[in-house]
Amino acid sequence: MRYVIIGAGVAGFAAVESIRSVDKTGEIIMVSDDPHGFYSRPGLAYYLTGEIDDKALYSRTKDDYKELNFSFLKERITRIVPEQHKLEIEGKPAIVYDKLLIAVGARAIPLNVPGAKLEGVFKLDHLTDANNILKWAKRGRTAVVVGGGITALELTEALLAHGMNVHYLLRGDRYWSSVLDKRESLVVEGHLQEEGVTLHHHSDLAEIVGKSGRVAGIRTADGHTIKCDMVAYAVGIVPRLDLVQGIGLNVERGILADEHLQTNDPDIFAAGDVAQVYDPLTGHSVLDSLWNPAREQGHVAGLNMAGRKSTYLKSAPFNVTRLAGLTTTIIGAVGRGRDEDVVGIARGDSETWRELPEAIVAQSGLDVNHIRLLIGDKHLIGAVLMGDQKLSFPLQKMIANSADISPIRDSLMQPDAPIADLIADFWMGWRKNIAV
């Protein structure tokens, strides 16, 4: 049996591991045109700030690869031919497969403004982008950052770390208003301003101005101009669908896959950012752009490719990130819905079918210790924690397992309720009844 995986991200690598756990002798080939192979893409933010070096992005050793016994080919696939079970490669013989996994991820949506092709305009898709940003970022230079989600904020913090003067353009009246409440947005913005970032609200980028082929400044839609040496953007991501156009696979916003990660072609599977996976719990097929779901999808896809029937069940969205230096956990449905500013933005945001909660309660101590709960009739629907993370794991488990919070719901709803204490006490009793 020959298994071929297109893509060197976490979904593809997880598939290699799960295939090998079932099939000890089958041939596994991973193909990607990313010269850096498998590394932690979420770690790029910390690589950019200088908190880790490039070696720390690689969580697997040569011994790990040797034990998994698979081949990595740095090649660009030009065409998939399902009826012949083969992949055509630029300038090389075709590769024949028995089972194929497409895990090519997503790509950054390009800026669609005049001047977007000038030297000094950057996105953050992969390690090569990060290295290019580091080469360009110089102390004393000025940068403009465009985008409304986590990746834009990561770019802002990275450029600050390299001594740049940073202007941050926000389309709305506050940061990430679709996910954070007003107070949370203001906490993030306050920290950015303390670090020296100049915020521009209600600002749409209209044009990047160049001089001698390089960035020299920007102009906003309302005519405001900013002189700068660099523009970094994160305005959304879209699945990489070029390879699957016209080959007979069912495609909507991503490659449609069932709960076994199988497409309408029984020998082709899809996982990660490129896959639009059926969720049997909701009856919808959804895209997900988080690291952990991609890993879980790759794992399930690999098992099914190797003949071990397995089902992917989408868990409650769970994301730990850093917003302007504040460790922040976002669990479940916390937003008020999708809008044009955050759809698909950056790797930190996960698409979810949000429900309207019965109530929202919040508790704050210092600016860096904040908890917000979205409460349904009997269950917690979502949570945001900023700063102290002691309740992160308990809340994740309670939301994922639909814990019945009826015994404490009225107490949580009281003005100035000690939310953290109530949740901690409830957790101590509830956890005894489940396997955590």
pLDDT at 335: 60
Distance CA 134, CA 55 (A): 16
SS3 assignment, position 97: coil
pLDDT at 415: 86
pLDDT at 356: 37
Residue 392 corresponds to which tokens in the numbers above? 């992160």
CA 379 to centroid of chain Cα atoms: 26
pTM over 0.85: yes
Band (436; pLDDT cuts 50, 70, 90): low
pLDDT at 5: 98
CA 386 to centroid of chain Cα atoms: 19
Residue whose structure tokens are 């003949």: 307
pLDDT at 368: 58
Helix, strand and coil content of the chain, in percent to the nearest 5, comes to: 30, 30, 45
List, in order of start, the domains of the chain with CATH numbers: 2-107+237-305 (3.50.50.60), 110-233 (3.50.50.60), 318-433 (3.30.390.30)
Closest CA relative to residue 177, chosen from 186, 167, 168, 165: 186
Mean pLDDT of all residues in the chain?
Answer: 90
Closest CA relative to residue 302, chosen from 70, 57, 42: 70
